[in-house]
Amino acid sequence: MSSSTLLYREIQLVIQATLSALSKNDLEACLFGSAAAALYGMDRIPKDVDLLVLNAGPGHVDEEIKRLVASTDPTFSLIASRVVGADHHVLWYNLPIIETHPQKRKQTNPSEEAPSSLRRACKVDILIPGTLDIPSIPKSQLHFDTSSFFASYIADNDTTSSTPKILPIACVPFCTLLMLKLRAWADHSLPKAPHVMHQRIPQDEEDIQELLRISITLGPKGVIRVGSSVTSAGDEGDSGNVWMVGGFSSWRAAKRCVAAYVKKWPRSATGWRDVGLY
């Protein structure tokens, strides 16, 4: 499967299809990761789609939810992970085949089934709160993109109609998105992290810099606050707002990580200060 050279409209198609498939199983989800960043205005086209299930029950696990999606919509495929020793599966959305130009066929890597075509797919990661320390996020705090919609098949309590509702696509709050990206940068920067993780650092840093730039355009939504000010939350912070800290255990831990980032990239200090974390 190849997830390279995706178009933004294809990413949107994958998002819509995944959310609809989840809704047919009474599951709600929101975007995080690069797909969420794109909705906020990031220029980089995501290479995959990351979704966080909002109403997973006690019996739900990531693998089961991926199986539900694949069984609901045949456009999805579940492929065993190629990681040595891994026992999980990767969920792919199969995109339309692109026919290669006859003169350029020798420059492509065609599949065995279609020697003159290029098979393409988009990887979809579906997680539940707690995985990778991703917090549970109140629905009231979600950001809704009023320019992007999907068909939801979750029935209202007072109706049994099978007619889908057209709903805006939701993504994690901006502060959570930024903190999750910072946490990923910190994890990938650990000396003992695998080399493949170290290779992700430049992209992490590029995304963080762009998110800091985007925060300026968001006004109050781009400023991280707990209570009256995040700067006063140097302790464990407000437990009711733990979703804001992203993958960190506390605001203190998050601000320590920001300090480490600024030490490496001093010119980012102004951006972090504008956000409210430095």
State pLDDT tens for residues 77-122. Answer: 999 888 777 788 999 999 987 665 545 444 434 333 333 345 789 9
Residues of the chain with pLDDT under 70: 1-4, 98-118, 158-161, 225-240
pLDDT for the residue 109:
42
Cα Rg of the chain, angstroms: 20
End residue of a domain, out of 152, 171, 190: 171
Same domain flag for 56 and 103? yes
Same domain flag for 89 and 212? no
**Residue 3 belongs to some domain of the structure:** no
pLDDT for the residue 123:
95
Same domain flag for 265 and 184? yes
Selection from 109, 92, 104 nearest residue 10 by Cα: 92
What is d(CA 16, CA 146) in angstroms, rounded to the nearest whole number? 14
Token pair listed for 96: 């339309």
End residue of a domain, out of 171, 202, 217: 171
Same domain flag for 136 and 33? yes
Same domain flag for 179 and 145? no
What is d(CA 235, CA 188) in angstroms, rounded to the nearest whole number? 25
**Residue 2 belongs to some domain of the structure:** no
pLDDT for the residue 230:
42
End residue of a domain, out of 171, 200, 227: 171
Burial 13-38 (b: 16+ CB within 10 A, else e): bbbebbbbbbbbeebbbbbbbbbbbb
pLDDT in tens, 20-51: 999 999 999 999 999 999 999 999 999 999 99
Same domain flag for 83 and 65? yes
pLDDT for the residue 163:
87
What residue numbers bound the domain in which 260 lies? 174-275
What is d(CA 4, CA 109) in angstroms, rounded to the nearest whole number? 12
Same domain flag for 167 and 251? no
Selection from 93, 81, 120 nearest residue 1 by Cα: 120
Same domain flag for 160 and 25? yes
What is d(CA 270, CA 23) in angstroms, rounded to the nearest whole number? 41
pTM of the model: 0.84
Same domain flag for 152 and 184? no
Please count the structural domains in the chain. Answer: 2
